[in-house]
Structure 1
């Protein structure tokens, strides 16, 4: 009888509950996480639901003939979305969509090349390596608004850029030079982010792998393409994913560097903020919802195609049944 009781007690403990009926580990985790989840629901969930509601809310103003006052009528529908794609602001919306996409593709592409090169340089056992790593962190540590002001001084008509090029380019005016200025400033600031993540991946590669490749007569390019890139690929994919999501919602850098309502650099976030400042909350929410769906689609395709292990679950072993 005592043996049966002991066996039952051990089985109940293995199941995560004590014989006295106290809460299981899963219930305890729920209780401990509930304050955090409540804060997230208030800080994130409520604004998201409110934005969705405003996106479908349309307001029309008219003068009441009986009183002579201006009255506002509220209705719900898809008018804000149809106006974005086919209304008077459709050209502005598609221009902002194009700018957002081109900024993302070009900036992230350049940052990947420069970031990987920076990681390879920092990974070499040279004198002053710690100083180089600290210096590379400086652009990334500067707030985006401050870096925008710094680059605005560089790209001024009498700034350093024109002095070096011996030209008089209007970098901060509306046009292709303004688009290039935003790409240059964004690459300068965020390439170290990719470089640091790739450096962390390089440090996990055993040195014996490169020694074996060297003994087999592999060249430097073959070692890089056959060893370094495949082993760094999981870290690089996650870094690129984070940068994609960051550039797609870019607002502060072109706003500070070039200015608002500049067609060559206006992004989806900028037109959403502009509509909100003009008290067009429905249109601003519609732009925000479209941008959210665009980011979600890009992230889903990127993860499914390239297999970005964002949650770090690929290395976990499944429990045996």
Structure 2
């Protein structure tokens, strides 16, 4: 009896294996067909991105290795530039001449000053915006009457175009504007070295903090309410619930918000260009890398292409560091949380 049942069981397993083999083949072929279909659907978008993004980047790199056209001192004729090698890059990195020619024995500092100014704006604005955005997101995540109206009103500064925002704050920070009248001061907000920098930081924080708050709020919305209830039952106070529950669970959204804002702040152009004209103080206190690129275009496209390539590489390096280290940390945190839940 047992032998018969064992044989029948073996036959049944073999029959099931034979029956499932064609199904696996059909499934594999179906997946291969879907993969090819997916490639065909994505190909137009990839081609469009290569034309819109790839070609300008490659063209700028090619131009950066060519000399700017100019007048031949011997003949007085306008001649093409020709091959420049790495001279356009050393012009910015080693000589540090900026947009003007270097007098003998002197070194300009426009490039590295612009790098320092750009990173200063990025660090100051992102830190303040993250702190304020987190606070605003926590407040907007609570249930109270008028929450929808508050969320809509908070997003108004972010919805205003940057050029209009810069002009608005330009009138606020005028010598006889609202800021000096309210503070009873006589500060040259758009002319002083540090005053102009503070003006740009204040204007940028006012405009972009709602963007950070919106992304963090999206992360807070997916945190289950039962998690906070369990923390309360365990005796955790408000600060412990924020540090032990909210921050770890909202970290992926927070990292994405910081990454977007850092990349955006490193490319800042319109706000300082309109608010202070890229000057302030000694004339270059608010000159960012993007402003320096636009100024250099008036002096030579190929040299400006080298400067824009350096700016691109700098921003790419910062993005790589964020994705490589902070992004991996977020993924590992999520994996540990999923294993703990299972």
Q: Same fold (TM over 0.5)?
A: yes
Checking the alignment, whether the CA contact within 8 Å between 1:238 and 1:309 is kept in structure 2 is no
Are residues 1:171 and 2:189 paired?
yes
Q: Distance in 2 between matches of 1:203 and 1:68?
A: 69
1:182 corresponds in structure 2 to 200
After superposition, the C-alpha distances for 1:4-62 in whole angstroms (9 at most, x for unaligned) are 998775344211349xxxx8222222222222222111111110100101111113634
Equivalent of residue 268 in structure 1, options 268, 289, 295: 289
Are residues 1:194 and 2:212 paired?
yes
Query: Any idea what SS the aligned residue of 2:29 has?
Result: coil
Structure 2: tracts of 5 or more residues without a match: 1-15, 99-107
Checking the alignment, whether the CA contact within 8 Å between 1:157 and 1:169 is kept in structure 2 is yes
- CA positional deviation for 1:307: 2.2
1 or 2, which has the higher helix percentage? Answer: 2
Q: How do 1:11-30 residues align onto structure 2 when only pairs under 5 Å count?
A: 11-17=24-30, 24-30=33-39
Distance 1:186 1:172, change over 3 A: same
Query: Any idea what SS the aligned residue of 1:58 has?
Result: coil
Are residues 1:75 and 2:61 paired?
no
Q: Distance in 2 between matches of 1:273 and 1:205?
A: 45
Distance 1:307 1:73, change over 3 A: closer
- CA positional deviation for 1:68: 4.8
Checking the alignment, whether the CA contact within 8 Å between 1:238 and 1:310 is kept in structure 2 is no
Structure 1: tracts of 5 or more residues without a match: none
Are residues 1:51 and 2:71 paired?
no
Equivalent of residue 107 in structure 1, options 97, 115, 125: 125
Checking the alignment, whether the CA contact within 8 Å between 1:234 and 1:309 is kept in structure 2 is no
Query: Which deviates more, 295-304 or 230-239?
Result: 295-304
Query: Any idea what SS the aligned residue of 2:188 has?
Result: coil
Distance 1:63 1:150, change over 3 A: same
Equivalent of residue 288 in structure 1, options 270, 291, 308: 308
Query: Any idea what SS the aligned residue of 1:24 has?
Result: helix
Q: Distance in 1 between matches of 2:60 and 2:274?
A: 25
Checking the alignment, whether the CA contact within 8 Å between 2:252 and 2:330 is kept in structure 1 is no
